Amino acid sequence: MKIYGVNLAEQLQHEFPLEQWLELLSAERRDSLCRFKRWSDRLRSFTGECLIRNLAGAYLGCRPSEVRIAKESGGGKPVLPYAGMHFNVSHSGEWVVCAIDRCPVGIDVEEIKPIDLGIAERFFSADEYKALLTEPADRQIEMFYELWTLKESYLKQNGQGLSGGLDSFTVTRNGSGYNEVSGQCFFRLYEVDSRYKLSVCANHTEFPQEVIRLPLDHLLQEFR
């Protein structure tokens, strides 16, 4: 498994010329991106596509533009139609992140913002909510985002998405120090930015030590 991150702080601040780069995509993909009402969401989604195309292209020995990205039957999540290649992308605020592995993988990044912790009672399991409330008050918001990213990465790893229900399972800590769900999936939290939480979920514990950071300019040089 490898995990990559792209920080878009500069591009978001200086109005990156996105439109000229969209011309490199298929008409279908351009239409999909343009459905986002906010320009910043288009940029994040475009960056995610550049990221996965570059990573897959390097692995397959082809140009990023030649990489095929399909969808699961029924119009589900994007997939790479190549044996032994699985990926997942997430973005929030300034960050776009991607995990790529030989097995299904899930990743989630969230910007830490003030939030009503009553949301946790609605969406977390009873045990998780109880554990959250036992944390010191100044730690509860941070733990909320840890749990949220852990749980969402799990739903993305098994293909359910949020429709699977965040309260339908409990993330616990096992004796080896890994968070897990019933011994079926394992997690790792990464420190990519003090203002964000980042979690990755897989059905094994072979996690990399760190997130590889790539500048958008590098991705674009390869993508053109």
CATH architecture of the domain 1-103+208-224 equals Alpha-Beta Complex (3.90)
Nearest CA among 84, 24, 20 for reference residue 49: 24
> What digits encode the pLDDT tens for the residues 114-132?
999 999 999 999 999 999 9
Q: Which fold has domain 108-203?
A: Ribosomal Protein L22; Chain A (3.90.470)
Amino acid (one-letter) located at 177: G
Domain boundaries, the chain: 1-103+208-224, 108-203
Same fold, 1-103+208-224 and 108-203: yes
> What digits encode the pLDDT tens for the residues 56-99?
998 889 988 889 888 776 556 788 988 889 999 999 999 999 99
Q: Is the pLDDT of residue 46 over 80?
A: yes
Residue 206's φ and ψ, nearest 5 degrees, are: -90, 65
* pLDDT band at 162; cut points 50, 70, 90: low
- Whole-angstrom distance, CA of residue 166 vs CA of residue 89: 19
Residue 221's φ and ψ, nearest 5 degrees, are: -60, -40
Confidence at residue 169, expressed as pLDDT on a 0 to 100 scale:
87
- Whole-angstrom distance, CA of residue 53 vs CA of residue 223: 8
